[in-house]
Amino acid sequence: MLKKYYLVVLALALSFSACMNELSEIDMEAPAVPRGVASTTGDEMVTISWYPNHEGDFDIYHVYRSAQENTGYYFIGATDQPFFVDRDVVNGETYFYAVAALDYSGNESELSYDLVHDTPRPEGYGVRIYNFRQFPDIAGYDFSDFAVLHYRAGSTDIYFEYHPDADGFFINAFSDDTDIQDYGYTESMDEISYAPEQGWSDLGYVEAIVGHTYIVWTHDNHFAKIRITQLNQDLVEFDWAYQTDPGNHELKVSQRDHLP
């Protein structure tokens, strides 16, 4: 009888030990919090990207969004790549983003620590405006209405000029309250993601050069950018993007009175 008792105790002990070993093998550790989260502004879209996780049991990322900073985040999608394109957005509205990593056991990391917010904006391609000396009715451009118009129309932001005496091409700001600057050569318009605080032309115009991107600060406190793709004595062709949210370009709200 005593021997049978010891066998029962031994069996229970072995069973308990097996259970403990099994419990100890259960993965309870979440992957590292995604780092380097950033966003790229688009037209009715925002692209969120980050550094990839390298855990051996990494499975997938969850992407979260909020209308407020550091609170109210909700799930909007999953991806196994270190980027996500959010197309469920409205131009001119600001969105806050965070990312979490999950492993195969379903352990989810904390939300990413980077404060990432973005404001999508409209953009366009292949717009042409013409030399105001010859074609005044189609020499100006109004970013707010996405329209080519007379260079002296009240809503004109910029207009094109070929100056024969100087044999030069120029982009002119129509209003004294509109600022412009040459940001230099870029491979694409997307290389410039924010409106700078300094560097605006004191002359009210800049030389037009193919491949250069220009920043415009409109008279009604909006930011825009253009990249010149074609240029001759008659016309300039450019791609453009315009931030519909006043004072806001690439997420950073800037009040004119606060800038130098």
| Domain final residue pick, 118, 135, 157 | 118
- For the chain, the average pLDDT equals 88
- Please indicate, yes or no, if residue 216 is contained in any of the structural domains: yes
pLDDT of residue 27: 73
% of the chain beyond a pLDDT of 90: 77
| Domain final residue pick, 50, 84, 118 | 118
Closest listed residue to residue 179, CA positions, set 121, 220, 231: 220
| Domain final residue pick, 96, 118, 140 | 118
Distance (Å, whole) CA 252 – CA 119: 9
User: Are residue 240 and residue 143 in the same domain, yes or no?
Assistant: yes
Closest listed residue to residue 218, CA positions, set 167, 132, 260, 156: 156
- Please indicate, yes or no, if residue 8 is contained in any of the structural domains: no
The total number of structural domains that make up the chain:
2
- Please indicate, yes or no, if residue 16 is contained in any of the structural domains: no
Long-range contacts from 249-257, C-beta under 8 angstroms, 24+ separation: 249/194, 249/195, 249/223, 250/41, 250/118, 250/119, 250/193, 250/194, 250/195, 251/39, 251/41, 251/94, 251/117, 251/118, 251/119, 251/194, 252/194, 252/195, 254/195, 254/197, 256/217, 256/221
The burial class, CB within 10 Å (0-12 / 13-18 / 19+), for 260 is exposed
| pLDDT tens-digit series, residues 186-242 | 999 888 888 888 889 999 999 999 999 999 999 999 999 999 999 999 999 999 999
User: Are residue 129 and residue 239 in the same domain, yes or no?
Assistant: yes
User: Are residue 130 and residue 246 in the same domain, yes or no?
Assistant: yes
- Please indicate, yes or no, if residue 148 is contained in any of the structural domains: yes
User: Are residue 160 and residue 182 in the same domain, yes or no?
Assistant: yes
% of the chain beyond a pLDDT of 70: 86
**Tokens at 178, concatenated:** 């509109």
Token pair 């909007």 is at which residue? 76
- Please indicate, yes or no, if residue 210 is contained in any of the structural domains: yes
User: Are residue 216 and residue 184 in the same domain, yes or no?
Assistant: yes
User: Are residue 110 and residue 127 in the same domain, yes or no?
Assistant: no
pLDDT of residue 3: 52
User: Are residue 105 and residue 167 in the same domain, yes or no?
Assistant: no
CA–centroid distance for 143 within its chain? 19
pLDDT category of residue 166 using cuts at 50, 70 and 90: confident
User: Are residue 130 and residue 231 in the same domain, yes or no?
Assistant: yes
Write out the residue range of the structural domain in which residue 215 sits: 123-251
pLDDT category of residue 65 using cuts at 50, 70 and 90: very high
Please report, for the domain that includes residue 114, its CATH number: 2.60.40.10
- Please indicate, yes or no, if residue 244 is contained in any of the structural domains: yes
Neighbour tally for 216: CB within 10 Å: 25
